[in-house]
């Protein structure tokens, strides 16, 4: 089945600097890659997602890039702010069987704890 690796596990950056989180996946059939932000004790919230028919997507300070050949995708946050501090999870859609059934079973990375230092 699908396996997603996420790095780094912790990341500390100065306010205003950029942060980059990287993920690799194993199943070449995966075609959907969302990123979730989870604050302590809160629900995961989608911040951006990308499908395999595009290589890059941007939404204000947040961008995601996808390299299907290398099977990796990255989250880029520019001009970081203290409210960006949280745990970020990447995910990839699940095995082909679930896709046939119509379900995007998500397989998550281990998470990156991002701290923005003022």
Partner 1 sequence: GAGVSQSPRYKVAKRGQDVALRCDPISGHVSLFWYQQALGQGPEFLTYFQNEAQLDKSGLPSDRFFAERPEGSVSTLKIQRTQQEDSAVYLCASSAGGQETQYFGPGTRLLVL
Q: Does 36 bind partner 1 (CB under 8 A)?
A: yes
**Which CA distances in Å does 96 have to 2, 46, 100?**
9, 23, 6
Q: Does 92 bind partner 1 (CB under 8 A)?
A: no
Nearer to partner 1, 65 or 98 (CB): 98
Q: Does 102 bind partner 1 (CB under 8 A)?
A: yes
How many other CB atoms sit within 10 Å of the CB of residue 73?
A: 25
Nearer to partner 1, 4 or 77 (CB): 4
Nearer to partner 1, 36 or 73 (CB): 36
Between CA 43 and CA 97, with CA 34 as vertex, the angle to 5 degrees is 105
Determine whether 6 is exposed, middle or buried from the number of CB atoms within 10 Å of its CB (0-12, 13-18, 19+).
Answer: buried
- Tell me, rounded to whole angstroms, the distance of Cα 11 from its chain centroid: 14
Nearer to partner 1, 19 or 50 (CB): 50
Footprint of partner 1 (CB under 8 A): 4, 6, 32, 34, 36, 42-46, 49, 89, 91, 93-94, 97-99, 101-111
């Amino acid at each position: 089945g699908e396996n997603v690796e996420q790095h780094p596990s912790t990341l500390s950056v100065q306010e205003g600097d950029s942060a980059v989180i990287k993920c690799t996946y194993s199943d070449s059939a995966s075609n959907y890659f969302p990123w979730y932000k989870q604050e302590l004790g809160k629900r995961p919230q989608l911040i951006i997602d990308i499908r395999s028919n595009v290589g890059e997507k941007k939404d204000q300070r947040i961008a995601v890039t996808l390299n299907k050949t290398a099977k990796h995708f990255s989250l880029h946050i520019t001009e970081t702010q203290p409210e960006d501090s949280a745990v970020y999870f990447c995910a990839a859609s699940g095995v082909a069987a679930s896709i046939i059934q119509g379900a995007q079973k998500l397989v998550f990375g281990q998470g990156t704890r991002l701290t923005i230092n003022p």
